[in-house]
A and B are shown apart, each in its own frame.
Chain A
Amino acid sequence: MRSATFIVTATDGIHARPAGYLVKEAGKFQADITISFKNKTASARKLFELMKLGIKQGDMITVTADGSDEATAIETVMQILEANF
């Protein structure tokens, strides 16, 4: 298991659209991926859980992945959350 903490730079944070894209991409990994923000944790495979986190640009989040491809999984999630949707 490994995790990374970073600041979300995507202009509009994690709203429905990027969350949907994230779910799609997260499903391609064997690793279980979660995103934590302010005491709340969401599975990267669950759209509503991700949306409920209410993450905005500038928020600091932690991504955790557990599985054989965890390193690539974290890298991919970070790239998505840095992009502007």
Chain B
Amino acid sequence: MKNPRSHLGDIITIESPLHAKVVSLETVADPVFSGKMMGEGVALVPVDGVLTSPVDGIIETIADTAHAVGLRSDNGVEILIHLGLDTVKLNGKHFIARVAEGDRINKGDILIHFDPEGIRNAGYNPITPFTVINSSDFESVLPAGSDHVLPGEPLLLLQVKDK
């Protein structure tokens, strides 16, 4: 007898890059994110301003305003972390990049320092969509379940497609 469960792929756990409150992506007041155009994921309400790497991998792209960063993990997960909504308009104010495009990164490495309070005071929402750009490469991309996370705690669970 075949156990159908044995056909399900492995689970990849993606860890949180921030100390944050976790909310659903659908609550983000931007249809590009809430409409899943950037893939499945969650949104993080930052408690502090230290963004660390959720994976071992490389920096694929980082905005020169340092408000958004794209990562590729060694196991093939493509992640976009967008610090705040519409924060491209801050032109880099309240953000300091600690990495550059092409850099090799490990879990926990500091990627960006930012100032959630400064972003708020400038009239922007620091809520941070965290999405798996290549969600369709996975069977499922689901929140790990906590509504409050520290850096390094489980944030998303990805089920690998059966080969």
The answer to whether A and B come from one shared complex is yes
- Chain A residues at the B interface, C-beta cutoff of 8 Å: 12, 15-17, 20-21, 23-24, 47-48, 51-52, 54
Cβ–Cβ contact A23 & B37, under 8 A: yes
* B103 / chain A contacts, CB cutoff of 8 Å: none
The smallest beta-carbon distance between B131 and chain A, in angstroms, is 9
User: B61 contacts which of A12, A23, A48 (Cβ < 8 Å)?
Assistant: A48
Closest to A53 in B: B61
Of listed A15, A16, A17, A21, residue having the most chain B CB within 10 A: A16
User: B88 contacts which of A15, A23, A24, A52 (Cβ < 8 Å)?
Assistant: A15
Cβ–Cβ contact A17 & B32, under 8 A: yes
Cβ–Cβ contact A51 & B61, under 8 A: yes
If over half of B's interface residues share one DSSP class (helix, strand or loop), that class is named, otherwise mixed; here it is mixed
Interface string of B64-101 (1 = CB under 8 A from A): 11001010100000101010000011000000000001
The smallest beta-carbon distance between B111 and chain A, in angstroms, is 15
Cβ–Cβ contact B37 & A24, under 8 A: yes
Known interface pairs A17-B32, A48-B60, A51-B70. Does A12 touch B38 (Cβ–Cβ under 8 Å)?
no
Cβ–Cβ contact B68 & A47, under 8 A: no
Cβ–Cβ contact A21 & B37, under 8 A: yes
The smallest beta-carbon distance between B163 and chain A, in angstroms, is 23
A to B CB contacts below 8 Å, 17 in the list: A12-B88, A15-B65, A15-B68, A16-B63, A16-B70, A16-B82, A20-B32, A20-B37, A20-B80, A21-B37, A24-B37, A47-B38, A48-B60, A48-B70, A48-B72, A51-B60, A54-B64
